[in-house]
Amino acid sequence: MAEPVLEMTAITKRFPGVTALDGVDLTLHAGEVHALMGENGAGKSTLMKILGGVYRKDEGRMLLRGQEIELNGPRHAMDIGIAVVHQELMLCNNLTVAENLFLPDTAHRMPLSAFGWKALYARAQALFDDLGIPLDPRATTADLTIARRQMVEIARTISRDIRILVLDEPTSSLSEEDTAFLFLLVDRLRSKGVSIVFISHRLKEVFQIADRLTVLRDGKKVGTYKSSDLTQESLVTLMVGRNVDLGQRVTGTVGDRLLEVQGLTRRGAFADVSFQVRAGEIVGLAGLVGAGRTEVARAIVGADPVDAGQILVAGKPAQIRSPADATRNGVALVPEDRKRDGLVLEATVANNASMVIMRALQRFGLVRKRELTEVVRDYVKQLNVRTPSLDQEVQYLSGGNQQKVVIAKWLAVKPKVLILDEPTRGIDVGAKAEIYAIMRRLAQEGHAILMISSELPEILALSNRVLVMAEGRLVGELVGDAATEERIMALCHLPHLTTAG
């Protein structure tokens, strides 16, 4: 067998209160896609940050084509052909796409002449054309969706001469189409002999793309396997140490209309959206990325203004002009971009988790901080948030565990109407099952739940009813067993079919 491209042996990394990695080995061959699997906090990102020169290892060795390497920073890693697209995007938001693409190359050459800018944009355009990426190099990065920002990151790495590419949860915010497109890029790189490390919590796509996989649990290596030797079930057992049951769709009786949306319109985003969600229901909101689902959710909770339409909560018209108004009316949104909207990174787990609850319950005048901490502690435990203590700053938690903290705090508030936007993005399979169970329990207790998700299996496993949006409009509704993957997908693409025909 050919010499491995990379050998990491007995890698150990400790943080205060946590051993993130404990003697982990990883071997990469040329032209393989190697999935790195494990629950939230298992150590995947930490291992890749060591490979990418972001963190220094405490112990262990790294051999690149048989030669020992000691990295002294991300730039060094890039120079010897190791590129990492991190889980947390590292783009500068106020720059244009093209600037982001060629940073830091452009940084030391600034300011550019008009000619220089033109050349920069042309170079970016050529790269996009070559990769078939539909992006405008002149767009400001902050205005892009998460999916587009992700593409810029990937293009950025592909534009350099690299031998090892790490993709740390690149697909968690991508649509099925964008994911398929990314996999084409990955295939091209693989056939050129590039080694790719791929991290994802979506098991189906892992089996689609990975040749081999390495499983981590609690900072230790469980083993390395050929993906053809495993099934989804056996992989879950290796990661979690037990079987996981994602449960059944709720079918209980439904009650009053807790949320009613009538003719809601926000110009440029969505138009004439009307639907209701009843007590005891979980309603799934499906659609392609960009269909307007997140925009509708934001408008309902007053995060964005609307041009027309009204919202009724429990049968009464509600004046919702801000998320605080929404919370007062018993309507809450667990946002999609939780990093930006949901967390104070410098605050502790306990403070983040209790912040909203304090505000939400203060009006009853009976809040006791100790009780709240109890509720929060309970959810943190149920969702298996891996943290040395509730006093740990959220910024030091793994990506998935940060997500769990946001979800925990809203679940604990128990609003009448709970809207969740991509609730399990980046969350491991064990915690997913817990979140589903809590959602079902809330519905059974008489709450109304609206869930936006791009994962159809998740929509189907949870929803009594599925609404489908396409191009800013509600295009269909499927009740109970009438909801199937095929029917939902057909509706998602409906406007294209009708306009093309």
Ligand X SMILES: Nc1ncnc2c1ncn2[C@@H]1O[C@H](COP(=O)(O)OP(=O)(O)OP(=O)(O)O)[C@@H](O)[C@H]1O
Binding residues (CB under 5 A) for Mg ion: these are 45, 87, 398-399
Considering beta carbons, is residue 77 or 273 the nearer one to ligand X? Answer: 77
> Does residue 316 sit in helix, strand or coil?
strand
- Which of ligand X, Mg ion, none lies near 43, with the C-beta cut-off 5 to 8 A by kind? ligand X
- Which of Mg ion, ligand X, none lies near 464, with the C-beta cut-off 5 to 8 A by kind? none
Rounded Cα distance between 127 and 100, Å, is 13
Q: Does 41 bind ligand X (CB under 6 A)?
A: yes
Conformation bin of residue 250: beta by default, left when phi > 0, alpha when psi is -120 to 50: beta
- Which of Mg ion, ligand X, none lies near 396, with the C-beta cut-off 5 to 8 A by kind? ligand X
Angle between the N-to-C axes of helices 349-362 and 399-413, in degrees from 0 to 180, rounded to the nearest 10: 20
Shortest spacing between CB 166 and ligand X, in angstroms = 12
Shortest spacing between CB 76 and Mg ion, in angstroms = 22
Rounded Cα distance between 248 and 390, Å, is 32
Closest CA to 327 of 295, 300, 292, 365: 300
Q: Does 400 bind ligand X (CB under 6 A)?
A: yes
Considering beta carbons, is residue 15 or 183 the nearer one to ligand X? Answer: 15
Q: Does 453 bind ligand X (CB under 6 A)?
A: no
Q: Can you name the residues that pair with 332 across neighbouring β-strands?
A: 418
Shortest spacing between CB 303 and ligand X, in angstroms = 26
Rounded Cα distance between 131 and 133, Å, is 5
Residue nearest to ligand X (CB): 400
Closest CA to 466 of 234, 222, 213, 284: 284
Shortest spacing between CB 244 and ligand X, in angstroms = 15
Considering beta carbons, is residue 219 or 292 the nearer one to ligand X? Answer: 219
Number of residues that bind ligand X (CB under 6 A): 19
Considering beta carbons, is residue 239 or 313 the nearer one to ligand X? Answer: 239
Q: Does 298 bind ligand X (CB under 6 A)?
A: no
Stretch that binds ligand X, among 14-22, 72-80, 90-98, 352-360 (CB under 6 A): 14-22
- Which of Mg ion, ligand X, none lies near 221, with the C-beta cut-off 5 to 8 A by kind? none
- Which of ligand X, Mg ion, none lies near 386, with the C-beta cut-off 5 to 8 A by kind? ligand X
Report, in this order, helix, strand and coil percent for the chain, each rounded to 5: 40, 25, 35
The correct pick among 5, 6, 20, 456 for binding ligand X (CB under 6 A) is 20
Rounded Cα distance between 283 and 464, Å, is 6
Stretch that binds ligand X, among 34-42, 58-66, 251-259, 408-416 (CB under 6 A): 34-42
Stretch that binds ligand X, among 38-46, 205-213, 376-384, 410-418 (CB under 6 A): 38-46
Inter-CA distances, 401 with 152, 388, 392, 396, 488, Å: 25, 12, 12, 10, 31
Shortest spacing between CB 135 and Mg ion, in angstroms = 26
Inter-CA distances, 489 with 2, 51, 469, Å: 44, 39, 11
Shortest spacing between CB 62 and Mg ion, in angstroms = 19
DSSP 4: P
Positions in 61-100 near ligand X (CB under 6 A)? 87
Closest CA to 425 of 397, 448, 406, 445: 406
Rounded Cα distance between 410 and 39, Å, is 22
Considering beta carbons, is residue 266 or 386 the nearer one to ligand X? Answer: 386
Tell me whether the omega of the peptide bond preceding residue 4 falls within 30 degrees of 0, making it cis.
no
Q: Does 330 bind ligand X (CB under 6 A)?
A: no
Considering beta carbons, is residue 43 or 423 the nearer one to Mg ion? Answer: 43
| Amino acid symbol at 371 | E
Shortest spacing between CB 421 and ligand X, in angstroms = 19
Q: Give me the half-sphere count of Cα atoms (radius 13 Å) on the Cβ side of residue 110.
A: 9
Positions in 178-217 near ligand X (CB under 6 A)? none
Considering beta carbons, is residue 121 or 198 the nearer one to Mg ion? Answer: 198
Site mask, ligand X, residues 375-394, x = CB under 6 A? -----------x--------
Q: What is the DSSP string of 253-297?
A: ---SEEEEEEEEEETTTEEEEEEEEETT-EEEEEE-TTSSHHHHH
The answer to whether the beta carbons of residues 111 and 192 sit under 8 Å apart is no
- Which of ligand X, Mg ion, none lies near 42, with the C-beta cut-off 5 to 8 A by kind? ligand X
Q: Which residues bind ligand X (CB under 6 A)?
A: 15, 18, 20, 38, 40-46, 87, 386, 396-401
